[in-house]
Amino acid sequence: MKRRPGQPAPPEPPVPRVAGPWRLRKTRGLQILELAPFRKLPWLVHGFSTRPGGVSPLESEKVLNLGFMEWDTSENVLENRRLLQSALGAGDLELIPLKQIHSDVIRIFRDSAADPCKGDASATNRPGLLLGIQTADCVPILIVDPKKHAVAAVHAGWRGTLARITQKAVGRMQLEFGTKPADLVAAIGPSIGPCCYEVAADFVTKFTAQFADAADYFDEPRSGEEPNPLQWLNMKPPGHQPPPKNVHLDLRKANRSQLVSVGLLAKNIYVSDLCTSCHTDLLFSHRREGPLSGRLMSVMGLRSTRKK
């Protein structure tokens, strides 16, 4: 936002905390979030993009927008994608993004794709393909099978989470690649945190109808239908019950629970605590920024030739 003359500068945003197995690597003007256990696999390429760098002009900065937005040009987006692949050393891999529709549709790629397919998760065991998931608050999940050399990328918003897309992605890996869930390693990347993801109280009912532990996903496990003991004092306007108070939903916890429920070992699931809404200096957040938000991209693939 531009400041008016004489207007004091806004306070500096808090420095994002990147600790434990996570690493924010700066390379070629970009900052890529990586997971240490993934970096130990020389045949694997992965990364969670961030906001800084790139060629897309957004107000007074240049950003790494990786989605085709109304405020940006296709040429900028394609150049940003090229920059991301170059920073990852994956310029020789074919980027395979999806046309995301907030579904439980999973695509298996055994060859290149001429046009983006509709879906919200993809998987492959073919070297030379780089799977990509776009987010700006939703949960990006990258999964690798170190034994079968297979990978998956999942986009999980609240609809996809409710439809169990993360569980189903693991199931497809079992079916297509002979994966054993206990062998898998998963990274749940930056997304909107429970601190900022406020939803209607009826979400509690939606999730508790599907998941036995759904009460743990919310700060207050209420349905919104509980009687208000002070309803006659609170009626606004007179004669109308006030709307139920919203609740906060933890999508990361919900998707982690899905991974555990299908057999992943808890020690092999890594969750980033970076909230997209809290850290718009580093990430994009559609909920906080609206139409002028860009798109992050989380990518994973198998190198065409293994690095020595």
Residue 238, domain extent: 198-249
* 38 and 104 assigned to the same domain: yes
* 85 and 219 assigned to the same domain: no
* 34 and 180 assigned to the same domain: yes
- Give the max Cα distance, the chain: 74
What is the spatial distance between Cα 177 and Cα 184, in angstroms, rounded to a whole number?
A: 12
For residue 84, tell me if it sits in a domain: yes
For residue 156, tell me if it sits in a domain: yes
Q: Indicate the number of domains in the chain.
A: 2
Across the range 68-90, mean pLDDT stands at: 98
* 125 and 63 assigned to the same domain: yes
Q: How much is the pTM? A: 0.89
Across the range 207-223, mean pLDDT stands at: 89
Indicate if the pLDDT at residue 295 is higher than 50: yes
* 241 and 177 assigned to the same domain: no
Q: Which amino acid is at 97?
A: P
For residue 293, tell me if it sits in a domain: yes
* 180 and 84 assigned to the same domain: yes
For residue 81, tell me if it sits in a domain: yes
| Confidence band of 116 (pLDDT split at 50, 70, 90) | confident
pLDDT over 70, % of the chain: 86
- Name the residue with higher pLDDT: 228 or 246: 246
| Confidence band of 1 (pLDDT split at 50, 70, 90) | very low
- State which of 233, 249, 265 marks the end of a domain: 249
| Confidence band of 2 (pLDDT split at 50, 70, 90) | very low
For residue 124, tell me if it sits in a domain: yes
* 101 and 62 assigned to the same domain: yes
For residue 79, tell me if it sits in a domain: yes
User: Given the DSSP bridges, would you call strands 117-118 and 94-99 parallel, antiparallel or unpaired?
Assistant: parallel
Kindly report, residue by residue over 139-187, the tens digit of the pLDDT: 999 999 999 999 999 999 999 999 999 999 999 999 999 999 999 999 9
* 220 and 272 assigned to the same domain: no
Helix axis angle, 251-261 to 165-177, nearest 10°:
30
Kindly report, residue by residue over 221-244, the tens digit of the pLDDT: 665 555 555 555 555 555 566 667
pLDDT over 90, % of the chain: 80
**Domain of 139: which CATH number?**
3.60.140.10
For residue 8, tell me if it sits in a domain: no
* 263 and 118 assigned to the same domain: yes
Average pLDDT, the chain: 90
* 245 and 117 assigned to the same domain: no
Q: Which amino acid is at 192?
A: I
Using DSSP's 3-state secondary structure scheme, residue 228 falls into coil
Across the range 289-299, mean pLDDT stands at: 97
User: Given the DSSP bridges, would you call strands 129-135 and 117-118 parallel, antiparallel or unpaired?
Assistant: unpaired
Residue 18 confidence (pLDDT): 73
* 158 and 58 assigned to the same domain: yes
What radius of gyration, in Å, describes the C-alpha atoms of the chain? 21
Residue 17 confidence (pLDDT): 63
Residue 178 confidence (pLDDT): 98
SS (H, E, C) 13-81: CCCCCCCCCEEEEEECCEEEEEEHHHHCCCCEEEEECCCEEEEEEECCEEECCCCCCCCCCHHHHHHHH
| Confidence band of 290 (pLDDT split at 50, 70, 90) | very high
Indicate if the pLDDT at residue 57 is higher than 60: yes
Indicate if the pLDDT at residue 285 is higher than 90: yes
Indicate if the pLDDT at residue 307 is higher than 50: no
- The set of residues, in sequence order, having a beta carbon less than 8 Å from that of 4 and lying 6+ positions away, is none
* 180 and 213 assigned to the same domain: no
For residue 34, tell me if it sits in a domain: yes
